[in-house]
Amino acid sequence: MKKKDGAFTIWVFRSGPFKPFKIKLPERKAKILFGVILAILVTFPFITLNYISQSIHMARLEKEATHIASLKSRVEEFRQEIQRLKEFDVKLRIIANLESAQDTGSFLAVGGLTSPSREPLQGGVADTQKMKEELERLSTEAEFREKSFQELYSFLEGKKRQLSSTPSIWPVRGWLTSTFGYRIDPFTGLRQFHEGFDIANRLGTPIIAPADGIVSRVANSFGYGLTVEINHGYGIKTIYGHLSKAYVAVGHSVRRGERIAAIGNSGRATGPHLHYQVMLNDVPMSPMNYILN
Out of 9-18, 144-153, 251-260, the most confident range is 251-260
Q: Are residues 33 and 86 in the same domain?
A: no
Q: Are residues 171 and 148 in the same domain?
A: no
State the average pLDDT over residues 127-154.
Answer: 77
pTM here is 0.48
Share of the chain above pLDDT 90, in %: 30
pLDDT at 158: 64
Q: From CA 265, how far away is CA 74, in angstroms rounded?
A: 48
Q: Which helix or strand (DSSP H or E) is residue 88 part of?
A: helix 27-96
Q: Are residues 224 and 236 in the same domain?
A: yes
Q: 81: domain range?
A: 69-163
Number of C-beta neighbours around residue 171 at 10 A: 24
Task: Choose one of 62, 81, 113: the last residue of a domain.
Answer: 62
Domains held by the chain: number? 3
State the average pLDDT over residues 47-68.
Answer: 74
Task: Choose one of 44, 62, 80: the last residue of a domain.
Answer: 62
Task: Choose one of 163, 198, 225: the last residue of a domain.
Answer: 163
Q: Are residues 265 and 252 in the same domain?
A: yes
Q: From CA 283, how far away is CA 291, in angstroms rounded?
A: 18
Q: Are residues 151 and 52 in the same domain?
A: no
Q: Are residues 243 and 231 in the same domain?
A: yes
Q: Are residues 140 and 221 in the same domain?
A: no
Q: Are residues 114 and 197 in the same domain?
A: no
Q: Are residues 104 and 144 in the same domain?
A: yes
